[in-house]
Amino acid sequence: MELILKYFPNLTKQQIEQFEALLPLYKEWNEKINVISRKDIDELYLRHVLHSLAIAKVMPFANGSSILDVGTGGGFPGVPLAILFPECQFHLVDSINKKLKVIKGVVDALSLENIRTTHSRVEAIDEQYDFIVSRAVTSMPEFTKWVKGKIRKEQINDFKNGILYLKGGDLSEELKQYTRVKLFPLTHYFKEDFFETKKVVYLPIKHK
């Protein structure tokens, strides 16, 4: 938890309490439904919470933004971002229902009213959002096919609406077809070794 306060020192009392509650909640749920590896659960704040919040360093969402989290798994990056941005709406989607059961348990315990979940493949979601976030669920060309037509035309943020994708390693081949893509290395924001090769990939998407 010290890690979160180190990089996000201006949290409200409620936000601090919600972030502090994440570890016991996920430990309890992980005993019933395994959504996080045993190694990762002990480093939840580094590997999952802070990693998710990297998106906030790149794009501090304006109040009223709507964000779709694709393949959310145990609720990352959606749950930490929803705590940080209580005035934004988050839609967490996953094709594996038992993972969403964990998220619902966490959301209810934290009284997070700005999250809703859907058990579905993302292609079947017929809505539009300001931003689509995810943690490396597939390659970018495949991902852009999944989310086609899901970006809103109206813009309320400093960045153009589009995709904010957490990914690591060498992405030059995967991203070579995108002329407007921007990479934000997480070492610009966080000093821990875990973030050495990790990035936020920002891809603005034209509304169609």
208: pLDDT confidence band, cut at 50, 70 and 90? low
Given this model, what pLDDT does residue 137 score?
Answer: 87
pLDDT by residue (tens digit) across 24-83?
Answer: 999 999 999 999 988 899 999 999 999 999 999 999 999 999 999 999 999 999 999 999
Q: What is the spatial order of strands in the sheet that 131-135 belongs to?
A: 115-119, 89-94, 66-70, 131-135, 162-168, 198-204, 182-185
Higher pLDDT, 38 or 152: 152
Given this model, what pLDDT does residue 207 score?
Answer: 66
DSSP β-bridge partners for residue 182: 202
129 contacts 66 by C-beta, under 8 angstroms: yes
The model's pTM: 0.97
Given this model, what pLDDT does residue 186 score?
Answer: 98
pLDDT at 151 over 90: yes
Sign of CA pseudo-dihedral 32, 34, 39, 41: negative
pLDDT by residue (tens digit) across 85-137?
Answer: 999 999 999 999 999 999 999 999 999 999 999 999 999 999 999 999 999 88
